[in-house]
């Protein structure tokens, strides 16, 4: 929702997110405690949280933050399980995304980890530009491993390798997960992949075959990074992920009736099929 220019009402957000909570996903990224000036679409995150029904769901709530203050705000809410922070492998993108250098972001991330530990929350670190960047900043599997080591030393236990602009291919996905997963057995690695419609399967398959078991998605592939120049490069479609794991024989334990309802609701919120 964050990149949409037209404000989605708080009631519409609550209604849609509650349909997702009934499906049985592991985690729901429901909102962000960030500057209302920077991302006005999410200025009502606290009100949205108050309207979510978490009384009968296995789904854990995740909130994205951009700084220490945001993590402290999120940590004060008992309904929230995960607090996510985008740490970029690219110096240029880190400055653009959070107005910090990588060194400053790492220092603040260490403080966020302390906040999470004290509040019994789990910090999720997204390594954005994890599969390369368009700025010419240094990138290699070794660079990503160095970042991961710093996170491991802080006690971070979930790291999501994030595509950001849809640049990943099996040639970059496979070696990253194949090398990182055995090297850091204490860390749960996730795949936050952006993709054009024709490439989704090869990306998911490469990550899954390399050992990844945590995947982010958005129904309809809605969203994506404003940095992406290709309008078809959006988030990984949740329905494609579900189809892939059905074909692979993985039982996701989802309520399929609830999922169909959520897909219909997504179409109404995001205008799928409208001309």
Buried b (16+ CB within 10 A) or exposed e, 14-34: bebbbbbbbbbbebbbbbbbb
Residue 89: its pLDDT value, please? 95
Give phi and psi for 25, each to the nearest 5: -65, 160
Sequence-separated (6 or more) residues with CB below 8 Å from residue 246: 252
Sequence-separated (6 or more) residues with CB below 8 Å from residue 16: 262, 265, 266, 269
**Pair of tokens at residue 274:** 């409208």
Residue 97: its pLDDT value, please? 85
Q: Would you give the distance in Å from CA 266 to the centre of its chain?
A: 18
Q: In 10 A of CB 155, how many CB atoms?
A: 13
Decide: 6 and 40 in contact? Cβ < 8 Å. Answer: no
* Cα separation, 233 vs 250, whole angstroms: 26
Closest by CA position to 105, among listed 70, 81, 131? 70
Residue 225: its pLDDT value, please? 59
Tens of pLDDT along the chain (275 residues)? 988 889 999 999 999 999 999 999 999 999 999 999 989 999 999 999 999 999 999 999 999 999 999 999 999 999 999 999 999 999 999 998 888 999 999 999 999 999 999 999 999 999 999 999 999 999 999 999 999 999 999 999 999 999 988 889 999 999 999 999 999 999 999 999 999 889 999 999 999 999 999 999 999 999 865 544 555 568 999 999 999 999 999 999 999 999 999 999 999 999 875 54
User: What CATH number belongs to 10-270?
Assistant: 3.20.20.70
pTM: 0.94
Active site residue 212: no
Catalytic-labelled residue, pool 48, 75, 204, 225: 225
Decide: 3 and 37 in contact? Cβ < 8 Å. Answer: no
Residue 227: its pLDDT value, please? 47
Closest by CA position to 1, among listed 271, 275, 270, 216? 270
Residue 232: its pLDDT value, please? 54
* Cα separation, 109 vs 70, whole angstroms: 12
Residue 231: its pLDDT value, please? 56
Q: What does the DSSP assignment read for 86-140? A: EEESSHHHHHHHHSS-HHHHHHHHHHHHHHHHHTT-EEEEEEETBTB-TT-----
**Cα torsion angle, 124, 130, 136, 141, sign:** positive
* Cα separation, 2 vs 118, whole angstroms: 29
């Amino acid at each position: 929702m964050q990149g949409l220019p037209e404000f989605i009402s708080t009631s519409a957000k609550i209604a849609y997110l509650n349909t997702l909570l009934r499906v049985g996903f592991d985690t729901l990224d429901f909102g962000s405690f960030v500057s209302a000036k920077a991302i006005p679409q999410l200025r009502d995150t606290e009100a949205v949280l108050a309207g979510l029904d978490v009384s009968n769901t296995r789904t854990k709530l995740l909130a994205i933050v951009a700084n220490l203050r945001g993590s402290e705000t999120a940590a004060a809410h008992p309904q929230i399980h995960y607090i996510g922070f985008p740490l970029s492998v690219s110096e240029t993108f880190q400055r653009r995304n959070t107005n910090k250098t990588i060194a400053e972001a790492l220092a603040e991330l260490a403080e966020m980890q302390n906040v999470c530990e004290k509040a019994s929350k789990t910090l999720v670190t997204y390594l954005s530009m994890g599969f390369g960047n368009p700025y010419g900043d240094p990138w290699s599997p070794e660079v990503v491993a160095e970042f991961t080591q710093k996170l491991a030393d802080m006690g971070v236990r979930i790291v999501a390798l994030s595509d950001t602009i849809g640049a990943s291919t099996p040639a970059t996905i496979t070696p990253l997960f194949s090398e990182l997963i055995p090297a850091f057995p204490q860390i749960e690695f996730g795949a936050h992949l952006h993709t054009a419609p024709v490439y989704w399967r090869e990306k998911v398959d490469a990550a899954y075959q390399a050992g990844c078991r945590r995947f982010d998605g958005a129904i309809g592939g809605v969203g994506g990074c404003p940095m992406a120049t290709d309008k078809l490069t959006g988030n990984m479609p949740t329905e494609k992920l579900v189809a892939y794991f059905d074909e692979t024989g993985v039982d996701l334990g989802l309520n399929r009736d609830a999922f169909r309802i959520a897909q219909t609701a997504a179409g109404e919120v995001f205008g799928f099929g409208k001309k």
